[in-house]
Chain A
């Protein structure tokens, strides 16, 4: 549609140009007729002037009468040339010009002969030539040829003008039709565009509504799931307590009646219960982290980290751990949630450096890529395989030499995400681990 509008516009311009050209040619054709007529008249007048001069001189013998003759002698050629250049557009024009040329030559020769005879004193001879009436005849012939040429020019010019006029009308009409069509087409195009625009607009609005509905639905479903996970974790504790309790009672009260394998089995049941209890506790914690309200306030992270590390030291006085804490790291966050995240991160660092001589834990900030504040907790402990860095925050408990990490880091991530931040990890097997997280610096909501 748009292409055809442009094509129509080009065609309109072309036909408009053609109609202008036709108009110019039409005017020029008129000019040709006028100049041929004028040139023919002028030539005839010059011939008459020459003859009049000759007659006067022959009658009076006074050279003054020869002046028109002399003038004509010099201009006749130019008049003929002018005529010759104009007749190309007249059919048979060349023929008239050739004919006229010979007639003019004859006339001028006759005039020259008589004037020369008269100049030599032979008036009788001159008059004798005049009296032959040949000059008169030539003159009549020339007048006739000029009239014929003028008529032919007129006819040719008129037919050319009418052809050009027809062309002009045709091209102008075509241009007009094209212009109207183009206008119509662009009008239709614009209307279609407007309608399409409206349709897109309503589709967009619809899509937005759909996305909103879907999001609402997902949020609700997610909430249900989280509440469900919470109640499952909670409800599973009661029967697990029974299993654990009776396994312990069995071992304590009836251990003597079991052989070694039997006692080991009872121990295995208790170990399994302990592991499962940790998982359930972490799941409950994760749900609480997810569902609790966020209460933003200014938090001195450095102070929180110091307090947590003091607690870790008090709980484990035998450990020698060098703790480095950057002072004055302040953020806007929910104190309880952030405290819980730091508990987790520092607890991990403490745990994973337990087999390291010269264990070191560091809390500091790093340059962030954006407006947020990037903090990290670094240790020189057992580390992890970098290939699993992304999975570190998703993993559930897997029995390992350092149990109880997966959900903890998932909670950390959930807490940071609820503050609009990001978490990521760097590390190497036996090369320590660094957990990064971003938060809003104090004063930025």
Chain B
């Protein structure tokens, strides 16, 4: 099994509380033939449990995290801070989903170590294109960090 196949089979984690955005994002991924399984978290607390909780660690890190900044319970910035603070997840690529006009939060996200951001334009086809391009890069072209030795 080469690395690329591993990446392909590793899940994409989508942390998003809005079911519409969630379903449309999954549809955009599928439409562009990104076949990775998608793990869903609908708030920050759930996301952190799935990423850092010992019961859930057996699947390893996701290939990519798509993170909405505005989440119930624990917000996106805090989720990002804890992902970067944990030795096991600090190198996982994280892309921020923004709807634009949140410059301050986006800057904070980069300061905390976000790898990039995808604007979610209102017109869905544009978002779909963006997801496709980002998926191509992060899931196919990018050489991901090897999993830390247990």
Contact = CB atoms under 8 A, between A and B. Distances in A.
A281 B20 CA distance: 20
A238 B127 CA distance: 13
Contact of A284 (B20, B27, B101): B101
A242 B122 CA distance: 8
Contacts of A277: 121-123
Interface stretch (A79-87, A96-104, A243-251): A243-251
B120 to A, nearest CB: 6
Contacts of A237: 99, 122
Contact of A245 (B20, B99, B100, B101): B20
B86 interface: no
A248 B124 contact: yes
Contacts of A248: 124-125, 128
Interface size class of B (residues with CB under 8 A): 10 to 19
Nearest to B124: A245
Greatest chain A CB density within 10 A among B99, B121, B123 is at: B123
Given A237-B122, A244-B122, 4 more contacts: A234-B99, A242-B21, A249-B24, A276-B122
A246 B31 CA distance: 14
Contacts, number: 55
Interface string B9-33: 0000000001011001001000100
22 contacts: A238-B99, A241-B20, A241-B99, A241-B120, A241-B121, A241-B124, A242-B24, A244-B122, A244-B124, A245-B20, A245-B24, A245-B27, A246-B24, A248-B124, A249-B124, A270-B123, A273-B122, A273-B123, A276-B122, A281-B100, A281-B122, A284-B101
6 nearest A-B residue pairs (beta carbon):
A277-B122, A242-B20, A245-B124, A245-B24, A244-B124, A284-B101
Contacts of A240: 122
A433 interface: no
A288 B103 CA distance: 11
Contact of B101 (A270, A274, A288): A288
A242 B27 CA distance: 12
B50 to A, nearest CB: 24
Interface of B: 18, 20-21, 24, 27, 31, 99-101, 120-125, 127-128
Contacts of A284: 100-101
A318 B41 CA distance: 47
A268 to B, nearest CB: 14
Contacts of B20: 238-239, 241-242, 245-246
B21 A238 contact: yes
Contacts of B125: 248
Given A238-B21, A249-B27, A244 B101 contact: no
B15 to A, nearest CB: 16
Greatest chain A CB density within 10 A among B21, B31, B101 is at: B101
Contacts of A276: 122
A337 interface: no
Nearest to A274: B123
Nearest to A278: B122
B86 to A, nearest CB: 30
A377 interface: no
A173 to B, nearest CB: 90
A280 interface: yes
Interface in A65-115: none
